[in-house]
Chains A and B, each alone.
Chain A
Amino acid sequence: MIKNPKHIKSFLPGIIVDVKTAAGNVVKKGDVLIIFDAMKMHNRIIATTDGKVKSVNVKQNDTVPKDFLMVELE
């Protein structure tokens, strides 16, 4: 399936280490949005497109399941 670049989802279950953005922020392709701990790594979850953040659905230390919609862009 073609991924929707405006829907930033978790690729595995994991823990939110840090949230680097907030609703209303304007982000550029390549900006780090979330630091996500999974597979022994603090993964940098980046924006794959330019946009404005519609909602951030996680906070620091949250445990999220796989495919959880962490950030949504407008």
Chain B
Amino acid sequence: MSILKQKIEELKNLKAEVILGGGEKAIAKQKDMGKKTARERIDALLDKDSFLEYDMFIQHEAREFGMLGKKLPADGVVIGTGKINGRNVAVFAQDFTVAGGSLGFMHAKKITKIMDVALNSRIPLIGINDSGGARIQEGVGALAGYGEIFYRNTISSGVIPQLSVILGPCAGGAVYSPALTDFVFVVEGISKMFITGPDVIKTVLGEEISQEDLGGARVHAEITGNAHFCAANEDDCFEQIRTLLDYIPHNNDKQSQCPAPVKTPLNKVKIETIVPDNPKIPYDVRDVIKAVTDGGDFFEVQALFAQNAVIGYGRINGETVGFIANQPDALAGVLDCDSADKVARFIRFCDSFNIPLVTFEDLPGYLPGVDQEHMGVIRHGAKILYAYSEATVPRVTIILRKAYGGGYIAMNSRHLQADFVFAWPLAEIAVMGAEGAANVIFRKDIADAEDPVDARNKKIEEYKDKFANPYVAAGKGFIDAVIEPCETRKYLIHALNICKNKQVERPYRKHGNPPF
């Protein structure tokens, strides 16, 4: 055997040793939990045979607490590059079978290396998290690692999409890398995220709660809003990732978007039959979105969180559009703290990556209540105003029915420099609902009337006739056109095409100061 052949044989053996990770016993344990190994996950997510791994032979440098001479294959994390649907991506996947996927200094060095590759190459970064947390034996070295990762998450934000996939525990400091990224994916029964776990909570507060109830997949998908996508198993989760990466541009360079072939819209449902004439009757606004998108496709983001606002992606004439809509089917479609956060962050992602925005509006206003006020609905609500006003991508609004008060201003109104605002004939654009308005304006007339109930009803009708329509706003030029529902797609295509090369000049600033 030639020397080269011997050396190649040696390399193969070394690689095989690394690929075995924490060994067969640890792998069996991982499988028992319904989890794939780190390398299996990458293979399942990426295009076949497209992945190349780097830094397989990294060794940790810890000496204390019995770490000297202890071998941790690949230091518990797999990094590399490959393709998803033919487009380049960078990936890291923590290997729970090696020291519980714990993050040591060299483990973190590998992650930051692939983060640098992703940023420098302007390709998306996908981080698969499955780690017990900081490698305690490495002390401050591990903490340094987290800090280096957070810094890169922040610097890459708005340049490349960053996706975090939580496929195991992700606790303590580790949660903040996902929190800084654009999209967080969780899987039921597998994902666990919290700052302090059940044990600490029990010790400090005496409260007992399971890991699942504290920070399981459903908790983050429904209650906290930390997660954007929730799947039943790992394979479904990977499918969601591939779909998302098909919709969004892979960096913030305007040229990078690859349009999909145009599909004809689904005309199964006539758009004019979706929205009831009576403004008190709810409906599912997602049906309106699906009635205007190519193929009737709509990929919803944060579907289970703050359901009174709907956000997600669809295509119009092959190009990706970010949709934002009030959802009359949930809490009457009001804006509140959670839906404001959800909408504002979505707008900022779309604006960063040059995705045009289409807003469907039908809302009674902000949710009243002591708890909302004390939770800071002023501060949270302001985020929507800031995000829309700041966005320089094409912005088109369709007012379907109700557009009242602060909600009307917030939902991408002309006054926040929307490019186009269209209204359906059912639209009611007014400072408040007819009943409330009549009570205020005609308080004295109603009180003085012989029959106050009858007088009140008459005044409500009077107000409705005058103001509960789109023509007052159209008369002032705040609405560009009142359109028939069946013309919606036609107007959207036209408007998005008109402002395709939109140019907006802004005064110099280092950056703004949004109400975080």
Which residues of A line the B interface, CB within 8 A? 2, 11-12, 37-44, 66
B280–A2 CB distance below 8 A:
no
Which residues of B line the A interface, CB within 8 A? 213, 219, 223, 279-282, 328-329, 331-334, 364-365, 367-369, 402, 433, 435
With both beta carbons as reference points, the residue of chain A lying nearest to B433 in the complex is identified as A40
B223–A39 CB distance below 8 A:
no
A39–B219 CB distance below 8 A:
no
What CA separation (Å) do A44 and B332 show in the bound complex?
9
Q: Which residues of B contact A38 (CB under 8 A)?
A: 332
Given A12-B368, A66-B369: A41 touches B223 (CB 8 Å cut-off): no
A40–B280 CB distance below 8 A:
yes
With both beta carbons as reference points, the residue of chain A lying nearest to B218 in the complex is identified as A2
What CA separation (Å) do A51 and B334 show in the bound complex?
29
Q: Which residue in A2, A39, A66 is a CB contact (below 8 Å) of B332?
A: A39
B280–A37 CB distance below 8 A:
yes
- Nearest-Cβ distance from residue A49 to partner chain B, whole angstroms: 12
Max count, chain B CB within 10 A of own CB: residue among A37, A40, A42, A44: A40
Q: Which residues of B contact A43 (CB under 8 A)?
A: 282, 331-332
- Nearest-Cβ distance from residue B220 to partner chain A, whole angstroms: 12
What CA separation (Å) do A36 and B364 show in the bound complex?
15
A40–B223 CB distance below 8 A:
no
Q: Which residue in A2, A12, A37 is a CB contact (below 8 Å) of B367?
A: A12
Q: Which residues of B contact A11 (CB under 8 A)?
A: 331
| Given A2-B223, A41-B282, 9 other A-B residues pairs in contact with their CB atoms under 8 A | A2-B219, A12-B367, A37-B280, A39-B332, A40-B402, A42-B282, A43-B332, A44-B282, A66-B369
- Nearest-Cβ distance from residue A7 to partner chain B, whole angstroms: 16
Q: Which residues of A contact B333 (CB under 8 A)?
A: 41
- Nearest-Cβ distance from residue A11 to partner chain B, whole angstroms: 6
With both beta carbons as reference points, the residue of chain B lying nearest to A46 in the complex is identified as B329
Max count, chain A CB within 10 A of own CB: residue among B328, B332, B334, B369: B332
Q: Which residue in A2, A12, A42 is a CB contact (below 8 Å) of B369?
A: A12
Given A12-B369, A66-B369: A41 touches B219 (CB 8 Å cut-off): no
A-B CB contact pairs (8 Å), 22 listed: A2-B219, A11-B331, A12-B367, A12-B369, A37-B280, A38-B332, A39-B331, A39-B334, A39-B365, A39-B367, A40-B279, A40-B364, A40-B433, A40-B435, A41-B279, A41-B281, A41-B333, A41-B364, A42-B282, A43-B282, A44-B282, A66-B369
Q: Which residues of A contact B367 (CB under 8 A)?
A: 12, 39
What CA separation (Å) do A10 and B281 show in the bound complex?
18
- Nearest-Cβ distance from residue A12 to partner chain B, whole angstroms: 7
B282–A2 CB distance below 8 A:
no
Q: Which residues of B contact A12 (CB under 8 A)?
A: 367-369
- List 8 tightest A-B contacts by C-beta distance, closest first: A41-B332, A39-B332, A40-B364, A39-B364, A42-B280, A40-B433, A41-B282, A43-B332
- Nearest-Cβ distance from residue A10 to partner chain B, whole angstroms: 11
A44–B329 CB distance below 8 A:
yes
With both beta carbons as reference points, the residue of chain A lying nearest to B333 in the complex is identified as A41
Q: Which residues of B contact A42 (CB under 8 A)?
A: 280-282
